[in-house]
């Protein structure tokens, strides 16, 4: 399903740069998403903890449905990373707390798309959406301490390292420590002003 078909406005589709859009998940995306996961299983397994609960298209359908429900409830916003209108990964704003004005960004992309700044630019777009459209005060990225590529994304967009959360995630057969990076709304506004 392509970008044009999703172009319903608002957060449903976000143009990141030419050839790269974020498209809010829609029922019916599970087959294409499953195919990308299948092609990238060993690579994703290094850092993503959900591969064993995503073994079938049916399980991916539950993920897509929960994404559609999450958008309706406002508790999360998940977008397909669309490279030339094809699903190439996922980026999301999770655990949205209206009360505390905070949320977390999560992401992954297909191995073949690494190294082109797609996720860095997509994160910038989601930060803008979170701070401007959702009026959040703080956005966090958590990455395994040894996941250098993911930590580099957080650092590239100007997030600050708050600290290390010990043994915060179970990764199949061991716990991993997570580096917690955050950006405050006022810091983001200041960085935008500096760019102008
Ligand atoms: C984490 C992950 C998304 C990082 O991918 P990535 O390609 O390093 O990140 P980006 O798409 O932002 O690209 C940045 C790279 O492109 C390069 N680049 C090229 N053009 C660029 C541009 N216009 N802007 C920024 N970077 C650019 C950067 O130098 C960097 O390359 P380097 O690591 O060799 O220095 C990817 O490795 C992944 O999906 N891993 C598996 C799942 C995972 O770990 N998810 C995160 C869990 S917390």
Q: Which atom of ligand 1 is nearest to the CA of 115?
A: 16
Ligand 1 atom closest to the Cα of residue 122 is: 12
Nearest CA to ligand 1 atom 26: 117
Residue 7 has pLDDT above 70, yes or no: no
Provide the CATH number for the domain around residue 139.
Answer: 3.40.630.30
pLDDT > 70? residue 128: yes
- The answer to whether residue 86 scores a pLDDT higher than 60 is yes
Domain count for the chain, please give it: 1
Q: What is the pLDDT of residues 44-67, one digit of tens each?
A: 999 999 999 999 999 999 999 999
- Nearest ligand 1 atom to alpha carbon 114: 7
Residue ID of nearest Cα to ligand 1 atom 23: 117
Dist CA 91 CA 95 (whole Å):
13
- Residue-averaged pLDDT of the chain: 93
Beta strand 138-144 with 102-109: parallel, antiparallel or unpaired? parallel
CA of 115 from ligand 1 middle (Å) equals: 5
Q: Whose CA is nearest to atom 8 of ligand 1?
A: 149
* Residue nearest atom 35 in ligand 1 by C-alpha distance: 115
**Where does the pLDDT of residue 11 fall: very low under 50, low under 70, confident under 90, or very high at 90 and above?**
low
Q: Can you give the residue range of the structural domain that contains 134?
A: 3-195
**Atom in ligand 1 nearest the alpha carbon of residue 147:** 44
Ligand 1 pocket, CB under 6 A:
44, 47-48, 107-109, 114-120, 143, 147, 149-150, 152-153
Residue 43 Cα: closest atom of ligand 1: 41
Among protein residues, the one with the nearest Cα to ligand 1's atom 34 is 115
What is the predicted pLDDT for the residue at 196? 72
Tell whether pTM > 0.75: yes
What does the pLDDT read at residue 193? 86
What digits encode the pLDDT tens for the residues 131-169? 999 999 999 999 999 999 999 999 999 999 999 999 999
> CB neighbours of 49 closer than 8 A, spacing ≥ 6?
169, 170, 171, 172
Ligand 1 mean position, distance from CA 154 (Å): 10
Residue pair 134/96 in contact by the 8 Å Cβ criterion? yes
CA 157 to ligand 1 center in whole angstroms: 12
């Amino acid at each position: 399903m392509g970008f044009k078909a999703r172009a319903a406005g608002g957060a449903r589709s976000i143009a990141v740069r030419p050839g790269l859009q974020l498209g809010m998940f829609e029922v019916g995306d599970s087959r294409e998403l499953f195919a990308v996961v299948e092609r990238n299983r060993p690579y994703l397994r290094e850092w993503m903890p959900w591969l064993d609960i995503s073994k079938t298209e049916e399980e991916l359908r539950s993920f897509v449905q929960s994404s559609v429900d999450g958008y309706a409830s406002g508790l999360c916003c998940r977008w397909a990373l669309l490279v030339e209108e094809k699903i190439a990964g996922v980026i999301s704003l999770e655990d949205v707390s209206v009360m505390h004005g905070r949320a977390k960004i999560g992401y992954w992309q297909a191995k073949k798309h690494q190294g082109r700044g797609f996720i860095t630019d997509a994160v910038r777009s989601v930060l803008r959406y979170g701070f401007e459209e959702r009026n959040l005060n703080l956005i966090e990225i958590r990455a395994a301490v040894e996941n250098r590529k993911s930590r580099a994304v957080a650092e590239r967009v100007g997030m600050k390292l708050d600290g290390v959360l010990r043994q915060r995630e179970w990764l199949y057969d061991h716990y991993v420590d997570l580096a917690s990076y955050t950006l405050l709304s006022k810091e983001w506004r200041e960085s935008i002003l500096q760019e102008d």
